[in-house]
Amino acid sequence: MSTEVKEKVWEVTLNSDCQCYDCPKCGVGFVGAEYGQKCDECAVELVNSDSCAGCWEDSENNFYEALESWKKEVGVDWDYVRISGVGVGWMRSSGYTEVPLETCLKSLTINGDFRIEAKWEEKTFSARRYSHDEPTGSAVFTFTLIEEEEE
Ligand SMILES: [Zn+2]
Ligand SMILES: [Zn+2]
């Protein structure tokens, strides 16, 4: 998990598997550490933690924070988003869905392991998903803010 804010660019990475690590010597926990990273204090390699410290929730929060910032950038205060996907699943199908902004991450997640790299740049928000379902590449999702239709 990493969040990086550059000028008008925001990147968030979400991993389905736990990103929590512990130092086997001093027991200090790290969230979002990289494989092979060492404890700052002990200089021993970190190991995967037995207990998750809530890294997915962290990633989720970062994702929605990025969406909110993007919405401000677009300057449209609508609460629905159209997500257009291409190269989705092993059939590499395309299509779109319209969902509430506040729960739209659900449309990108799947059962099984995956990594999502979301980013917005200027007025475009997009996300790439890497998973076993998409072995030959990645699914690409583009987000558009839409007005809620009256029923
Ligand atoms: Zn340590
Ligand atoms: Zn975790």
Residue 105, domain member (yes or no): yes
> What's the 2 CA to ligand 1 centre distance in angstroms?
22
Residue 25, domain member (yes or no): no
Rounded to 5 degrees, what are φ and ψ at 105? -60, -30
Residue 138, domain member (yes or no): yes
Token pair 């030959």: residue: 136
Residue 78, domain member (yes or no): yes
- Which residues in the chain show pLDDT less than 50? 1
- Per-residue model confidence (pLDDT) at position 5: 57
Residues near ion ligand 1 (CB < 5 Å) are: 23, 25-26, 39, 41-42
Encode burial over 57-68: b for 16+ CB neighbours within 10 A, e otherwise: ebbeebbbebbe
Task: Give the tens place of pLDDT for each residue, 14-33.
Answer: 999 999 999 999 999 988 77
Residue 67, domain member (yes or no): yes
Do residues 99 and 85 touch, judged by C-beta distance below 8 A? no
Q: What is the pTM of this model?
A: 0.84
Residue 114, domain member (yes or no): yes
Distance, C-alpha 27 to centroid of its chain: 28
Residue 73, domain member (yes or no): yes
Domain span including residue 115: 2-17+54-146
Q: What share of the chain is helix, strand, coil (3-state, %, to 5)?
A: 20, 40, 40
> What's the 20 CA to ligand 2 centre distance in angstroms?
4
Closest ligand to the CA of 54: 2
Residue 131, domain member (yes or no): yes
Domain count, the chain: 1
